Amino acid sequence: LNERLTGVFDRITGRGALSEKDIAEAMREVRVALLEADVALPVVKDFIAFASERAQGEDVIRSVKPADQVIKIVHDGLIEMLGGEEPVPLNLNATPPAVILMSGLQGSGKTTTSAKLALKLTKTERKKVMMASLDTRRPAAMEQLETLGKQIDVATLPIVKGESAVQITRRALQAAKLQGFDVLILDTAGRTTLDEAMMAEAAEVAAISRPVETILVADSLTGQDAVRTARAFHERLPLTGLILTRADGDGRGGAMLSMRAVTGLPIKYLGAGEKVDALEVFDARRVAGRILGQGDIVALVEKASEELDQVKAEKMAKKLAKGQFDLDDLAGQLAQMKRMGGLQGIMGMLPGAAKMKAQMANANIDDKMISRQEAIISSMTKAERKKPDVLNASRKRRIAAGAGVEVQEINRLLKQHRQMADAVKALSKGGGKNLQKMAAM
């Protein structure tokens, strides 16, 4: 994709701005690249519309090549479409046993993935896990799970021949409860194609066992079919997440983007091999890199990203020099801090900014807190962000509900912002000339 885009922009060099025509031309290449990566057509269309809009909203940055800038926009857009950079952990909040229901077509990797998950939960979370096979159809399916269980030292429900899936579910729930297991993984039967009997059985098992997680396991190599499967399962089961298997053989990642976009469900893990430890936490950044086409593009994006940060930092310094610092500026700071993982950047550009740095450090800003603060600011209206003084109790309650935080946290953020805004004002009075000189640099 990189080559394609550079090609497009080689033809249009000399012009400073990203025009609609330039963007449309670049997006045509992005479209081809996505289709080559096996992304479903409707998903490609949505993505192009989304990324084009983004690109039109961006200021053109002279120090960055337009092609790099578009790649960066596309890359970030892909990460967002894939669910963002933060992995979504399994939810195990339930009165034990927390039930995880594994659904999917036959051969998608449900049984293998059940064992992989069990191993992960046992090893890294020190959970007491039991697995039970509800696959009454495929010969030796239950023994397959039992063997895997022995291999990883995880309990399996003793096999009783002749029971229905629903009967096994009831027995498993009871056994897990009585024996004090934290987690019960139910490995369901699958058919080779979607059929009503299988769906009805899975739905009944879900109704009885009330899983905290209902996972659709799908083969990432099946491409377009995977999307159809995901849609069908999503209609019948209260799915909470996806695990895509055979990522080790999927060099393109298109199915991942499609399944995520079609279901809106988080991809929680990727199966990356036949071995029981081959389960990886889903990493949107890596998959986006894969879809765009490997290695060097990632370095390129990083470079463009640094340059963009630099330009943004300069803009910010100009505002600061005038003594202005509203909540939008704070949000920009938070985003940048998150990217850089520290308190460098803009603050470092200002003489006498050590005090502000110390204040932010004192406020104990960590990544989680930054994410919550970003959520708070993005739950505000534009006017509120410009003039936080208008925030009365009822507005704060609305924002707290929107951001999923307590009102106290909003107050804390506002206090912190006030301190920073005051510091900025003081700085601009004291060394206005200096600051302007710095900003001009």
The residue ranges that bind Mg ion (CB under 5 A) are 110-111
Beta-bridge partners for 99:
184
268 touches ligand GDP by CB under 6 A: no
Binding positions for GTP are 104-111, 187-191, 245-248
Among 87, 107, 323, 431, binds ligand GDP (CB under 6 A): 107
Binding positions are 104-111, 187-191, 245-248
Beta-bridge partners for 131:
156, 185
Q: How far is CA 263 from the centre of its chain?
A: 14
Interacting partner of 246 out of ligand GDP, Mg ion, none (Cβ under 5 to 8 A depending on kind): ligand GDP
User: What's the closest the beta carbon of residue 83 comes to ligand GDP, in angstroms?
Assistant: 19
Q: Say if CB 330 and CB 32 are below 8 A apart.
A: no
Judged by CB, which is closer to Mg ion: 102, or 356? Answer: 102
Residue with tokens 């900014």: 353
User: What's the closest the beta carbon of residue 231 comes to Mg ion, in angstroms?
Assistant: 22
246 touches ligand GDP by CB under 6 A: yes
Judged by CB, which is closer to Mg ion: 217, or 313? Answer: 217
CA-based torsion, 248, 249, 252, 253: positive or negative: negative
Q: How far apart are CA 311 and CA 397, in angstroms?
A: 36
316 touches ligand GDP by CB under 6 A: no
Beta-bridge partners for 184:
99, 130
Judged by CB, which is closer to ligand GDP: 73, or 243? Answer: 243
Among 110, 120, 268, 396, binds ligand GDP (CB under 6 A): 110
Radius of gyration of the chain (CA): 26
CB 167: neighbour CB atoms within 10 A?
A: 13
Beta-bridge partners for 186:
101, 132
Judged by CB, which is closer to ligand GDP: 68, or 201? Answer: 201
Residue (of 162, 188, 227, 196) closest to 102 by Cα position:
188
188 touches ligand GDP by CB under 6 A: no
Judged by CB, which is closer to Mg ion: 112, or 258? Answer: 112
Q: Say if CB 290 and CB 252 are below 8 A apart.
A: yes
112 touches ligand GDP by CB under 6 A: yes
149 touches ligand GDP by CB under 6 A: no
Q: Give me the amino acid identity at 423.
A: A
248 touches ligand GDP by CB under 6 A: yes
Q: How far apart are CA 320 and CA 329, in angstroms?
A: 9
272 touches ligand GDP by CB under 6 A: yes
List residues near ligand GDP by CB under 6 A.
Answer: 104, 106-112, 190, 245-246, 248-249, 271-274, 278
